Amino acid sequence: MNQSLVITAIGADRPGIVNELTEILLKAGLNIEDSRMSVLGGEFAVMLLVTGNDISINSVNQQKDSISTSLNLSVLIKPTTSSNQSDDHTRYKITVDGMDNPGIVHKLARYLSQHSINIVNMQTDSSHAPHTGTPMFTVNMMVDIPSGQVIEQVKNDFAALCDELNMDVELKAVT
């Protein structure tokens, strides 16, 4: 029976990191099921969900320190546990755009948390407006809204919060 691990690694960015890491995982007999990779402030960060048999899982766990040393990355390996989350939700994509101000992510996350809305994925980007150079901020999220929530109320309340933050919002069900 296959098991799953989440492997997280971070370190100075350089060409070839993904090639070297994925080669190690392939040689260990692991399959990458899902991944997120990004360079933030010159640091490379990766999260991988991998699956394999007991021998493959044990092999990569035993190699953790040598992987970390050879790739010059801080590596964390964690077995996954089954999710207790109910399928009783609807997935939505949320995009929030506007002028950058401190606290945007926190205020959005606080609203979602207070309404038992789970953030499944979030990505933020900073940029500058083309002609004015004004700092701009974009938040892209995938969230699971519990079926018990009144969607129109959530949309209206979240839009009101975004208005207070001078941000535009788009909230769409994922089909």
Q: What is the mean pLDDT of each run of 10 residues along the chain (175 residues)?
A: 94 96 96 96 96 95 95 96 73 97 97 97 94 95 95 96 97 93
Residue with tokens 């790739």: 71
Structural domains of the chain, ranges and CATH numbers in brackets: 3-79 (3.30.70.260), 89-173 (3.30.70.260)
The confidence score (pLDDT) of residue 83 equals 61
Tell me the C-alpha distance between 46 and 14, whole Å: 13
What does DSSP assign to residue 117? P
The confidence score (pLDDT) of residue 66 equals 95
What does DSSP assign to residue 86? -
Between helix 151-164 and helix 104-114 the angle, nearest 10°, is 160
The confidence score (pLDDT) of residue 175 equals 83
Tell me the C-alpha distance between 142 and 49, whole Å: 18
pTM strictly above 0.75: yes
